[in-house]
Structure 1
Amino acid sequence: MNWFFLSLVTATTQAVKDTFLKSAMGRTDPTLAMLLYSSVAAAFLWVFAIGSPEVVFAPAFWPLLLIGGAFGGITFWLYGLALNRGDLSLALPMLAFTPLFLLITSPLTLDEFPRPGGLVGIALVAVGAYVLNLRERRHGIFGPIKALVTNTGTRLMLLVAVVWSIGANLDKLGLQASSPAVWAASIYTASALALIPFAARRLRRSVGELPGFPFAIATAGLLEGIGLFCQMHALPLTQVSYVIAVKRLSIILGVLLGAVVFHEQDLAHRLPGAAVMVVGVFFIAVFG
């Protein structure tokens, strides 16, 4: 199947998933919400893994799973805090920086580097994230950049982008050591287990606050399972940075959903940035 289509499905599910997660954050502890969400995603992915052909595990599988699970736990913890403490339309654009960080991590871990067209596309995706925050130019040309550190949600999501630039490469190595279905289910299980220490401090109190099993969290986990299944099948077909860049189209949808569902402001300042990101994705798909 075409890697671009698979990545586009991932982008769509990511945006809708983030909307459901954001809505759940006001009703429960964000770390517990991420623990439940990743557990549902893992359960969904194991359905695919159990029905997949028999897999031969390379020796590197278990070390990669251990390291990737630790990174996943940290990422989900930061992700939940970022959604809880910031606007969807401000936090999500920070994930556009993941392809830029991949320009450092992918050559070191996978010996991959994009061709010139793909490099231009990745740069445009990052420039689009700057334009999305263009309103901050009233504080100077570096205002949009300064907003990354002054706004808690964007600062935390930028850290997520850094960790994901490493985790995406571990994912590709994990795929080579097993299979897309088994690796996706395994890494989400490991990430959920790694989240338990983060949630343990407030676990009893947080569980008591849950009104049954939240529909929003369960739906988010289901969407994540579908999106990750598509992503894991796209990664072996092309370079990691291309898949992740197309996946970041979820930012455009997230900005729109933030305005429609949560009535977040300044949509007019962020749509031009979204347009730049679309051009970037076009460069990646056509010239990458």
Structure 2
Amino acid sequence: MNWFVLSCVTALTQAVKDTFLKRSLNAMDAATGMLGYCLAASVCLWLAVAAGPPVSLRGGYWPLLLLGGVLGGVTYWLYGLALKAGDLSLTLPMLAFTPLFLLVTSPLTVGEFPEPGGLCGIALVVGGAYVLNLRERRYGLLGPIRALVTNAGSRLMLAVAVIWSIGANIDKLGLAESSPLFWGASVYTATALALAVGLVRKRPALPPRVVRVTWPLAVAGLLEAVGIVCQMYALPLTQVSYVIAVKRLSIVFGVLLGAAVFHEPDLRHRLPGALLMVVGVFFIAVFG
């Protein structure tokens, strides 16, 4: 299947998944919620692995898995904190900066660098993030940029984007040492173990009405499994930065869902910024 179609499916599942995640995280500790989510995704992915052909592991698999698990544990803990701290329409757009950071990490790790058209698309994605906070222009030309780092949820999600710019390249290297399904299942399992280690000392209390809180986590895990399978099959077909940029279509879906489900304000400013990011995404797909 075409890498662009696979990446678009990933984007849609990501946006719906984040809606379920935010609803659950409103009632529980971020690390606990993300642990449940990663476990649910792992179970779904291992079921898919069991239904497929046997996998042959190569020598670089284990060190890459260890690195991927550690990065995943830190990333998803920060991701959960970001969703708890801010609106979907302000936090999710920060992930659009991942392709920008990939301009640094991809040449160093997998030797990839976008074509000029891809660079223009990435610039549009970054410009969309500026427009997203354009109402802060009243504080000066740098007001929208300042808003990105003063909002707690945005700041945390920006840190996620930095780490994911490394993790996406680790994923591509891990695919070469195993298979798309097997790597996706194993890296989510490793991430869940990393989160569990971080919770050993903390021992957070479970929320009341656990079933009501955990079923959205299970749905989020299922959606993540579908999305990650599509992403893992897309990565070998093109450059990492292109797959991740198209995946950021989830930003627009997230902005719309944030307004529809959580009644988040300021859609008039946030949606145009998200749409500009989408223009950048399609620019990457067509000219990159």
What TM-score results when the alignment is normalised by the length of structure 1?
A: 0.97
Aligned match of 1:211: 210
Q: CA deviation at 1:170?
A: 0.1
Q: Deviations over 1:20-74 (max 9, x none)?
A: 1111111111110100000000110011112222222110000000001000000
- Look up the match of 1:47: 47
Give the Å deviation of 1:203.
Answer: 3.0
The aligned residue for residue 27 of structure 1 is 27
- Verify: 1:188 aligned to 2:188, yes or no: yes
- Paired with 1:122 and 1:7, the residues of 2 have a C-alpha distance of 16
- 2: distance between equivalents of 1:32 and 1:219? 16
1:27 and 1:70 map into 2 onto residues whose CA distance is 26
Output the amino acid matched with 1:89.
S
For these two proteins, the number of residue pairs brought into alignment is 287
Q: 1:208 to 1:280 in 2, by over 3 A?
A: closer
What's the RMSD between the two structures over aligned residues?
Answer: 1.2
Q: How does 1:64-79 map to 2 (within 5 A)?
A: 64-79=64-79
Which deviates further from its counterpart, 152-161 or 126-135?
126-135
TM-score, normalised to structure 2's length? 0.97
> Once the 2 structures are TM-superposed, how far is the Cα of residue 262 of structure 1 from its aligned partner?
0.6
1:137 matches 2:118: no
Three-state SS of the structure 1 residue aligned to 2:210 is coil
Q: Distance in 2 between matches of 1:92 and 1:18?
A: 9
Do the aligned residues in 1 keep the contact of 2:33 with 2:80 (CA within 8 Å)? Answer: yes
The answer to whether the Cα contact below 8 Å between 2:85 and 2:153 also exists between their aligned partners in 1 is yes
2:93 maps to 93
Query: Any unmatched runs of 5+ in structure 2?
Result: none
The share of aligned pairs that are identical, in percent, is: 66
Q: Is 1:56 matched up with 2:56?
A: yes
Q: C-alpha distance in 2, partners of 1:19/1:156?
A: 18
- 1:125 shift after superposition: 1.1
- Unpaired runs of 5+ residues, structure 1, are none
Structure 1 residue aligned with 2:233: 233
1:27 aligns to what SS in structure 2?
coil
Q: What displacement does 1:134 show?
A: 1.1
Name 1:112's counterpart in structure 2.
112
- Code of the aligned partner of 1:211: V
Name the structure 2 match of 1:253. 253
Q: 2:18 maps to which residue?
A: 18
Aligned AA (2:80): G
Secondary structure, aligned partner of 1:214: helix
